[in-house]
Amino acid sequence: MKKELIIRIVFVCGIGLCLVAALYCALYLKDTGMEHRRAQKQFVILSEKMPEEGESEQRLEAFLTMRRTYPDLTAWIRIPDTKLDYPVMQTPDEQDYYLHRNMDGEYSSYGVPYLQANCSTAESDNLIVYGHHMKNGDIFGSLSEYVDKSYWEEHPQIMLLTEDGEAVYDIFAVFKTTAAEDSPDAVVYHTFVKAEDSAAYIDFVKMVKEHSFYDTGITPLYGEQLLTLSTCEYTLEDGRLVVVARKKE
């Protein structure tokens, strides 16, 4: 009799725990969905304030106006005819501040694309921008399409708007690597910000081109600023997908 009672109690407790877990999951998914919608809404509102392509002076004016509200705004990045159209933040004293924060500094799993802390849009040889790989293609999720050369052929350029105006960057390499620098699969790209000399620049370009999924036929020349986009990649442990472009003069 006692054994049957214990079994019933354990059974009821088990059901109760399952119900609590189910309720927790439901609330978590609801909160996550609301959080994603808030993040998407903020980006949509900001992108709607940016004039259409070709209106360079108006775009710059809109960008500078946004900076009054968001002082950490350092650039605006977009790839024409894709979902990638976002502000880029930078906090020199805290590298990953916007990894899990929205533009208002509130928690967000979306985060905001951000420029590496030690980069300067005016002076660096390589601008490194990080963004989440969202499964729905938001933020830098669409970069995974560049594994296919035909996607690069359709979307070969990146536009970067800064306080100096909007510049065009030609994509010349796309590769995957791992953040574990001691791995044989590692391609260390985040340490190259300012070339010591022309040889260092040439070596870096050679390295990323050798690891690229395909040959684009483009080889940057020393003095041409590079733009590197980095996001998560899931076929390698702690993987990264990296797209590298050179500034078009």
Is residue 59 in some structural domain?
no
Is residue 29 in some structural domain?
no
Task: Over range 216-245, report the average pLDDT.
Answer: 96
The answer to whether residues 84 and 77 touch, using CB atoms and an 8 Å cutoff, is: yes
Is residue 211 in some structural domain?
yes
Is residue 146 in some structural domain?
yes
Beta strand spans in the chain (E): 73-78, 85-89, 114-115, 126-130, 157-162, 165-178, 226-233, 239-248
The answer to whether residues 74 and 162 touch, using CB atoms and an 8 Å cutoff, is: yes
Q: Provide the number of structural domains found in the chain.
A: 1
Is residue 222 in some structural domain?
yes
Is residue 62 in some structural domain?
no
Task: Over range 25-50, report the average pLDDT.
Answer: 65
Q: What confidence tier does 8 reach under pLDDT thresholds 50, 70, 90? A: low
The answer to whether residues 228 and 124 touch, using CB atoms and an 8 Å cutoff, is: no
pLDDT at 176: 96
Which CATH number goes with the domain that contains 204? 2.40.260.10
Q: Residue 226 belongs to what domain range?
A: 71-248
Q: Could you read off the pLDDT of 163-202 as tens digits, one per residue? A: 999 999 999 999 999 988 888 878 999 999 999 999 999 9
Q: Could you read off the pLDDT of 94-109 as tens digits, one per residue? A: 999 999 999 999 999 8
Is residue 14 in some structural domain?
no
pLDDT at 4: 61
Position 15 pLDDT exceeds 80: no
- If one compares 217 and 45, the residue with the highest pLDDT of the two is 217
User: Distance between CA atoms of 54 and 11, rounded to whole angstroms?
Assistant: 67
- If one compares 34 and 50, the residue with the highest pLDDT of the two is 50
pLDDT at 11: 52
pLDDT at 14: 52
Q: Residues near 145 by Cβ (< 8 Å), separated by ≥ 6?
A: 151, 155
Is residue 1 in some structural domain?
no
